[in-house]
Structure 1
């Protein structure tokens, strides 16, 4: 299955926030630079992550975002369920409205079951456990943070 671009940006933003040194607030611009995505796209993702209750935001000159406890425990499957904007994985639309076969379509039901199986498999993957030092230290250097990444497995 393929995830949409918005979900991809959101997952990358959560990974960056998850691996930031404890107590560090990251600006949306810093997250955008870290994930190599335009500010406007990351800004929309951060707003959505906040509305989902996964990040805390502090306003002001010294403000920024940080992953909260709910965000640290979130799984890839949970997040994708909230971010997947496609109502119909089979795209059962024609230029002249709906497909005439849409009522009682077995393909559509099979595609929905496959999508849910995809999410269930990703429900076992906690997003904050994904980043690792070799991956994140160069990223943090590009946004001006010292490479102090500690793997979630090594945290007390």
Structure 2
């Protein structure tokens, strides 16, 4: 199963925030630099993570984002379910209309079950517990910070 690019950026942003020293605010630009993704993409991810109640954001000159308690306990399965915007796991529509086989399609239902099984497998994986100091040290060194792990 493949996750979409937005979910990927959102997961990486959470991993960086989970690795930051406790209570430290990271700017969106800092997160973008850490994950090697354009600022605009990370900005949208930060907005969505805030809407989901996983991070706290402080505005202003000394503002930034930090992981909150909900963000420290969210599982990969829960997060990916919330970030998945696809109605169907299969592309059942085209610019020319719906697939003529769409009505009661067995493949479509099987793929929906497979997607849910994928998420269920990730329901025990707490995102904030994934990063480790060895992994994050070079990332944080590159942006001039030390990981908080």
**TM-score interval for Structure 1 and Structure 2 normalised by the shorter chain:** over 0.9
Please state whether the residue corresponding to 2:66 is helix, strand or coil.
strand
Structure 1 contact 137–149 (Cα < 8 Å) conserved: no
TM-score by length of 1: 0.93
1:6 corresponds to: 6
1 CA distance for matches of 2:83 and 2:67? 17
1:149 corresponds to: 148
| Structure with more relative contact order (C-alpha pairs < 8 Å, separation 6 or more) | 2
Structure 1 contact 58–65 (Cα < 8 Å) conserved: yes
TM-score by length of 2: 0.97
Structure 2 contact 73–127 (Cα < 8 Å) conserved: yes
When residues 119 and 148 of structure 1 are mapped into structure 2, their CA distance, relative to the original with a 3 A threshold, is closer
2:93 corresponds to: 93
In the alignment, does 2:33 pair up with 1:65? Answer: no
1 CA distance for matches of 2:16 and 2:68? 13
| Structure 1 residue 112: Cα displacement | 0.2
Unmatched 5+ residue regions in structure 2?
A: none
Structure 1 contact 33–143 (Cα < 8 Å) conserved: yes
Please state whether the residue corresponding to 1:86 is helix, strand or coil.
coil
Please state whether the residue corresponding to 1:56 is helix, strand or coil.
strand
1 CA distance for matches of 2:96 and 2:22? 53
Structure 2 contact 32–42 (Cα < 8 Å) conserved: yes
| Structure 1 residue 148: Cα displacement | 4.3
Please state whether the residue corresponding to 2:148 is helix, strand or coil.
coil
Quote the RMSD (CA, aligned, Å). Answer: 0.8
Unmatched 5+ residue regions in structure 1?
A: 151-156
Moved over 2 A (4+): none
Instruction: Give 1:48-59 correspondences, 5 Å limit.
Output: 48-59=48-59
1:17 corresponds to: 17
In the alignment, does 2:37 pair up with 1:37? Answer: yes
